[in-house]
Structure 1
């Protein structure tokens, strides 16, 4: 039925696959069979996907789809769900032995929206324990390896999703981002990841829905068009929650390059240590935007690096303590938590109301400062990481460019400006270093400018196409 070779089918973007499925020139069963073949060939080495559903059951689900109308925006597409999110009938371990074996009894909101749009959930994507740290390893499923060099990290916490995308195990994937968890693995795996404006994709309507606004779910894909497709399904307010933004349009219109103003922020005026080669490759990516016709300017550091860090670590630890303290207090689970989890909980529990308020004031000051910058620029650009993918046997980099790291996440400090202010950011492939490893740039916009960022990213993709031009070297499916 398909009009392409088998390998070509898996190389197609989600938007292209959806068109073939809708036209019935490709069957969902055929796509699923190829998907399962690719997973069988690669996942044993890379360990990107976990808790996979039985293959025969998935093929039966795909055949059932082939006998129904193709109405949903994602109908017939296979997808993995990040193992921080509940998908009914699948385990939700969050990479922790404290939760191993926990079977989700219902879909979380974003999974329900994706299922309503027609996806076929094939399994979960691997994460660091409780998604803490940008290196995907945990004591339940083990480590996920980078497809460009299995000896190094794939990043995290959406590392399994990024690897599955890069290797064509899935055409789209969900992720989540607190401190770069969508952006760093996208950059390290030569794919796209989007942290939407906070509130664009509602969190699960459980527990507190007012106070904690650092993390958000978002889409990952191999093109901005696919980001927009998945985000159009995930986004939109939930009436059970007090904050929310409207949806986005799945159809992107590339803007005129002459209308695009880009601010290159580099290493924040020397404040963020960077390994050799990262700034240069990211500057080259900015030049591609300039070559297309955008106006690109250097931007001096607009805010205190120390103030951003102090605000971020206070609010993050406060969030972690409120979320995970029950596991720390339970004798059955307290000794099953990794040291970084314990550190966040204990630090957060030691904070007072005045500490949290002071951190929120700094956050507010930064939001206002950023808003003024966006009067001059459509987007600000930073690297997606301060280091290249590091060896698998490291827990985290202890130093960056000769500067000692004082916490397990300090090396990801470059992601804080967008996260702290709840700003949208699209991670885009920037190219490859002399080491053969990928790096990315963050395209950061004013809150609410998600559509505009996606359109700029689509223009960039049209002239670069890094995921398509330089995929990992893979055996045939």
Structure 2
């Protein structure tokens, strides 16, 4: 593997800017790495023609730098549109459709100089945290190819772990930037809701669950990409101005207060060893001078789940109902999508209102916690990466899971309230499988989480200590 692929995106960009590295050389190394490892992993799909990519890289070398990502290869999650590439969203109902234009965040990445080489694989419509679909197949965990890589940004996480990319975009409704980051020994960040606008299509007022965000092998690169993706869009009402997101290596971490929420007082079933790694990660923050305390469950687990499942099903139904109504596509939808659509369509306006009231109550309670704590910490997943042939885990530690996403319940507190959450690697457990923890912050505290994450990264460097070699 070419040494340049082990560098951070910031270092690659700096070398290109300084004339020490050409965009063409970086592209050649990238394509060689894709040829070497992607066949077994299946992380990058819809790869563009090599000659076209090399020509685009040569043009980048011949022109002035366009922005922070100038000359860097990227691949876009296959839930988003890239002009000229197919957007299947992993569904046979959409397979073969070619995007006419870039989605907003893709256009921003291109304007900053990034070169899109293809797409990254995702579960069908991004539903579930196991990256497999009937269009592109299954994506393997690079640390154990018989295991899941998580999802829905699974292809992005694997591409980073395997050094095919240095940065990648993703999205997160129910842990889709956090679970795959933890399972692939990389970093993922769900930003404060509204910091990164989505496409101004359909309703842009009511559905405040899913958000776009960055993935990388260190927090500094998260900030680099997030800075490009973030910022208001005048066509949408909820955008917020992007602050300076670059983590400060000299930031004073000592004295910051960390609350360990763990398994929510035993409410969330966890496989053996996950809590131990979570506490070990907290110990790193203690060594950095932070104050770490156990936090009792601050809100009803059942109320959170009731609110979350109602708002999620309502959102999915609003987005996917036309596919269920069409005779041409209804039989091509996976059962989990149909279940969500039918559940959402059965709700009344008052059902949705009640769910949003619970969400509002939780947001208020969380804000009170952040008067005391700079971050709350929980694992990124409740199970270790499971076998590829499973659709989803049916039980955890003897506790039955009653839906395709119940096993991901640990990610709900941040998602429901639109809070920023930074997934950081926590090490390795059973069979050398990776796991992570999520640092959850107050709405708008994205920079503070990145500062914490950078200090943690300097102390641990998990992606460098146990890299994927092949």
Shift of residue 249 of structure 1? 2.1
2:107 matched residue in structure 1: 112
Contact 1:219 1:227 survives alignment (8 Å): yes
Shift of residue 250 of structure 1? 4.7
How many residues matched? 469
What is the distance in 2 between the residues matched to 1:52 and 1:171?
17
1:330 matched residue in structure 2: 326
Shift of residue 227 of structure 1? 0.2
Aligned residue runs from structure 1 range 375-386, under 5 A: 375-386=371-382
Shift of residue 30 of structure 1? 0.5
Task: Write the deviation string for residues 389-425 of structure 1: whole angstroms up to 9, x where unpaired.
Answer: 0000000000011000000000000000000000000
Shift of residue 257 of structure 1? 2.2
What is the distance in 2 between the residues matched to 1:286 and 1:266?
10
Shift of residue 253 of structure 1? 1.0
What is the distance in 2 between the residues matched to 1:251 and 1:205?
27
Aligned residue runs from structure 1 range 307-346, under 5 A: 307-346=303-342
Instruction: List runs of 5+ in structure 1 lacking aligned partners.
Output: 1-5
Contact 1:340 1:408 survives alignment (8 Å): yes
1:462 matched residue in structure 2: 458
What is the distance in 1 between the residues matched to 2:44 and 2:269?
33
Where 1:96 maps in the other structure, the secondary structure is: coil
Aligned residue runs from structure 1 range 251-290, under 5 A: 251-254=246-249, 255-290=251-286
What is the distance in 1 between the residues matched to 2:469 and 2:50?
25
Contact 1:261 1:377 survives alignment (8 Å): yes
Contact 2:245 2:446 survives alignment (8 Å): no
1:214 matched residue in structure 2: 209
Where 2:254 maps in the other structure, the secondary structure is: helix
Q: Select the residue among 433, 437, 440 that pairs with 1:441.
A: 437
What is the distance in 1 between the residues matched to 2:253 and 2:295?
20
1:401 matched residue in structure 2: 397
Where 1:430 maps in the other structure, the secondary structure is: strand
1:3 matched residue in structure 2: none
What is the distance in 1 between the residues matched to 2:237 and 2:246?
28
Q: What TM-score do you get using the length of structure 1 for normalisation?
A: 0.98
Where 1:376 maps in the other structure, the secondary structure is: coil
What is the distance in 2 between the residues matched to 1:368 and 1:235?
25
Shift of residue 356 of structure 1? 0.5
Q: Select the residue among 79, 99, 121 that pairs with 2:94.
A: 99
Q: Select the residue among 174, 189, 196 that pairs with 2:191.
A: 196
What is the distance in 1 between the residues matched to 2:320 and 2:243?
33
What is the distance in 1 between the residues matched to 2:268 and 2:2?
41
Task: Write the deviation string for residues 210-239 of structure 1: whole angstroms up to 9, x where unpaired.
Answer: 000000000000000000000000000111
Shift of residue 248 of structure 1? 3.3
Where 2:424 maps in the other structure, the secondary structure is: strand
Task: Write the deviation string for residues 238-280 of structure 1: whole angstroms up to 9, x where unpaired.
Answer: 1100101111325321321223110000100000000000000
Q: Does residue 44 in structure 1 map to residue 15 in structure 2? A: no
Aligned residue runs from structure 1 range 56-75, under 5 A: 56-75=51-70
Contact 1:82 1:158 survives alignment (8 Å): yes
What is the distance in 1 between the residues matched to 2:371 and 2:246?
26
2:388 matched residue in structure 1: 392
Q: Does residue 410 in structure 1 map to residue 445 in structure 2? A: no
What is the distance in 2 between the residues matched to 1:404 and 1:251?
42
Shift of residue 434 of structure 1? 3.1
Contact 2:122 2:133 survives alignment (8 Å): yes
2:10 matched residue in structure 1: 15
What is the distance in 2 between the residues matched to 1:458 and 1:287?
16
2:238 matched residue in structure 1: 243
Contact 1:379 1:453 survives alignment (8 Å): yes
What is the distance in 2 between the residues matched to 1:308 and 1:426?
20
Contact 1:231 1:248 survives alignment (8 Å): no
Where 1:435 maps in the other structure, the secondary structure is: helix
Instruction: List runs of 5+ in structure 2 lacking aligned partners.
Output: none
Where 1:319 maps in the other structure, the secondary structure is: helix
Q: What TM-score do you get using the length of structure 2 for normalisation?
A: 0.99
Aligned residue runs from structure 1 range 420-431, under 5 A: 420-431=416-427
